[in-house]
Amino acid sequence: MEAGFKVRIDKAVASIRAKSKSTPKLGVILGSGLSGIVDSIEGTEISYKDIEGFPVSTVHGHKGSLKIADNIIVFAGRFHFYEGYKMDDVVMPITLMKELGVEKVLLTNAAGGVNYTFEPGDLAFIIDQVNLQGTNPLIGPNNDSMGPRFPDMSEPYNKEMLDEASRIARKVLPHRTMKYGVYAGFTGPSYETPAEIRMVRAFGGDLVGMSTVPECIVANYLGMKVCGISCVTNLAAGLGHAKLDHKEVIETSKLVEKDMIGLVSGLIEYWS
């Protein structure tokens, strides 16, 4: 992380504290097409544009605001490396969560299905991840007050949270069979090639996307527990006949939005 990053975080915290004094314990980041979930939560909504030093999401399907309440903060839209942002910007929501008091993080995303048993519209819990982005958000001088120089990543997605989330899913979505998989993160913005997808499958990947991995790394670095959920919006390259299109991602996300809202709402109620 760059020198001065902590100063940026402090300014962002001050911007939020000017509008809300809440100290949430649960933080949620919503992926493409899932921003509607924020409307189901009561609290103070703040546009990213009104947070000093905060980036602004440029991707269609990302609302670009957060909502903060007594026990939860939800980011409707994230920042991607492929947008041209530095990694410090990509992980800023995670660091901001920590400074506001968050202890548990729920990451959601739209992902391509690599596993042959996954279909568009499936919801999958992330059990592990592979960093294929060619960089790491912790590269640079380390601030020992924030976290260790060499953070442990032997359990990137907390097993206790996964067990709890699986139980909640069976309760609120009895009609669904949740999937479980390893998420491989590329940089994008181009979709993966069929050869890259074969590579991912060869080393055990089940899902592929362009986000989440840096956020998970920094959350672990900061000592927060992480749970991840992917909405499988399309079959990865080489598995179907259609060309990959972000429009499909948004459309599929909308089709499963009701179930995703039900699941996330159930988890919010349990964890907050």
pLDDT in tens, 186-220: 999 999 999 999 999 999 999 999 999 999 999 99
Q: Would residue 230 show up in a list of annotated catalytic residues for this protein?
A: no
Q: Which domains does the chain have, with CATH numbers?
A: 5-271 (3.40.50.1580)
Mean predicted lDDT score pLDDT of the chain? 91
Q: Indicate which residue of 110, 184, 224, 236 is catalytic.
A: 110
Given this model, what pLDDT does residue 6 score? 85
Where helices occur in 119-173 by DSSP H, the ranges are 159-172
Q: Would residue 269 show up in a list of annotated catalytic residues for this protein?
A: no
- pLDDT surpassing 70 at residue 43: yes
Q: Vertex 132, ends 130 and 133: CA angle to 5°?
A: 125
CA distances from 63 to 36, 60, 97, 103, 137 (A): 8, 8, 18, 24, 24
Q: Would residue 115 show up in a list of annotated catalytic residues for this protein?
A: no
Given this model, what pLDDT does residue 241 score? 56
Inter-residue contact 99 to 146 (CB < 8 Å): no
Question: Stretch 241-254: mean pLDDT, rounded?
Answer: 68
- The encoded tokens of residue 86 equal 């530095």
- pLDDT surpassing 80 at residue 103: yes
Q: Indicate which residue of 20, 115, 211, 230 is catalytic.
A: 211
Q: Would residue 80 show up in a list of annotated catalytic residues for this protein?
A: yes
Distance (Å, whole) CA 80 – CA 90: 6
Q: Name the least confident of 25-34, 52-61, 151-160.
A: 52-61
Angle between helices 257-271 and 246-255 (to 10 degrees): 60
Given this model, what pLDDT does residue 19 score? 96
- The encoded tokens of residue 8 equal 């940026």
What percent of the chain clears pLDDT 70, i.e. is strictly above it?
Answer: 92
Q: Would residue 82 show up in a list of annotated catalytic residues for this protein?
A: yes
> Smallest Cα–Cα separation from 113: which of 30, 201, 53, 41?
201
pLDDT in tens, 21-42: 999 999 999 886 677 778 878 8
> Smallest Cα–Cα separation from 244: which of 204, 194, 201?
194
Q: Would residue 99 show up in a list of annotated catalytic residues for this protein?
A: no
Q: Indicate which residue of 80, 87, 109, 221 is catalytic.
A: 80
140 or 239: whose pLDDT is higher? Answer: 140
- The encoded tokens of residue 235 equal 């079959």
Given this model, what pLDDT does residue 220 score? 98
The residue to which tokens 């992926």 are assigned: 31
Instruction: Please list, in sequence order, all residues whose beta carbon lies within 8 angstroms of the beta carbon of residue 231, skipping any fewer than 6 positions away.
Output: 31, 33, 34, 108, 109, 110, 111, 121, 122, 123, 252, 253, 256, 260
- Decide: helix, strand or coil at residue 167: helix
pLDDT band at 61 (very low <50, low <70, confident <90, very high): low
Inter-residue contact 67 to 74 (CB < 8 Å): yes
Q: Would residue 210 show up in a list of annotated catalytic residues for this protein?
A: yes
Distance (Å, whole) CA 149 – CA 6: 16
